[in-house]
Amino acid sequence: MKIISVVGARPQFIKAAPVCRSLRERHEEILVHSGQHYDYDMSDVFFEQLGIPKPDYNLAVGSGSHGRQTGEMLALLEELFIERQPDAVLVYGDTNTTLAGGLAAAKANIPVAHVEAGLRSFNRSMPEELNRVVVDHLSDLLLCPTDAACENLAREGVSRGVHLVGDVMLDTARFFGERCDAQEVLARFGVSRDGYYLATVHRASNSDDPRALGDIIDAFSRLDAPVIWAVHPRTRKNIESFGLGERLAEATNVRLVPPASYIDMIGLLKGTKALLTDSGGMQKEAYFLRVPCVTLREETEWVETVELGWNRLAGTDPEAILAAVESSTPPAGHPDVYGDGHAAEAIVRVLEGELGEVGSHG
């Protein structure tokens, strides 16, 4: 098979790493980086650490409005797909890169395979939710991480091409988690095990809203231990432009650090009292590592983490955040709701089974 994989944003590098490895054992993969994320610590460091092959193409679209960013990718990807004629295009998750890749392939009559299909927050004001819904309805192969994802698709009348494969982020966490020396990471960050909270904030609804961002800073400042906040470039810019820098400076227990590499993030997660985040992927990574999570949103796609008691939805109200942190003791049960850590191999098997002739392109 000849597969084009399209990635572009940080979580997609983490998801693609195990799939690239499995795919390339028997097939040809052409890797395309849209350039949605371009800073060293948002992109290159993941390729280096996770051993992802150098992209064959980098579209270098960079930042912009949703329309411009997605539109530029769409035009470039269409050209590339038509020229390279793959057996399928593989897209990941829910970013603008996912949408552009899925739409360009579907319009060129090339089968679309969507990794992390079926996720829903049921909040259409999230750009990611729109991307998910559109891409799922364009996809020929829907590679679902959980039962809940398959059920979401069934409710929308999508049943053909749906496969439960498990979560590729678990593959990555298992593979690299074992290689991560948490003690070394904690020493480098100057923190001790269970002596700090770990935080990330990048969702548009939080980082682009001065009130939400201010409330989050207030909540962090009232926590009973240092907060290591690995800050997304978008959030850092907005802290300054909303005039929240002073409020943050007064929050002496809050320490801003640059976006963390994968290994550093896993190390910091292993040692933290609890994670505070609005990231989807990190809610799961916390679960994989048995770390309590407080989610700075009103809803989540990863409903299992909440149902099993490992994750609390707190939104951005400081009182709610503090109450959630206080009540976040790890429960006893920890079932394998995200599969067995071999989702990438399952994805390759589905592609082989569904796309026919194995190895026709080398």
User: Rule CB under 6 A: which residues touch ligand UD1?
Assistant: 9-11, 36-39, 42, 63, 94-96, 127-128, 202, 233-234, 237
Among candidate residues 33, 114, 202, 232, the one labeled active-site is 202
Closer of 225 and 244 to ligand UD1 (Cβ): 244
Q: 256 in the Ramachandran plot: left (φ > 0), alpha (ψ -120 to 50) or beta? A: beta
Round to whole Å and give the CA distance between 209 and 38.
24
Return the HEC string of 147-164. Answer: HHHHHHHHHCCCCCCEEE
Closer of 22 and 43 to ligand UD1 (Cβ): 43
CB of 112 to ligand UD1, least distance (A): 17
Both tokens assigned to 296 = 């700075």
The answer to whether residue 27 is catalytic is no
CB of 183 to ligand UD1, least distance (A): 27
N-terminal to C-terminal alpha carbon distance within the chain: 7
Helix H or strand E encompassing 293: strand 293-295
CB of 355 to ligand UD1, least distance (A): 27
CB of 279 to ligand UD1, least distance (A): 6
> What b/e readout covers 104-138, taking b as 16+ CB neighbours within 10 angstroms?
bbbebebbbbbbbbbbbbeeeebbbbebbbbbbeb
CB of 41 to ligand UD1, least distance (A): 8
Helix H or strand E encompassing 199: strand 197-200
Closer of 173 and 322 to ligand UD1 (Cβ): 173
Closer of 11 and 86 to ligand UD1 (Cβ): 11
Round to whole Å and give the CA distance between 223 and 263.
25
Closer of 26 and 237 to ligand UD1 (Cβ): 237
181 burial (CB, 10 Å; 0-12 / 13-18 / 19+) is exposed
Report, as residue numbers or ranges, the catalytic residues: 202
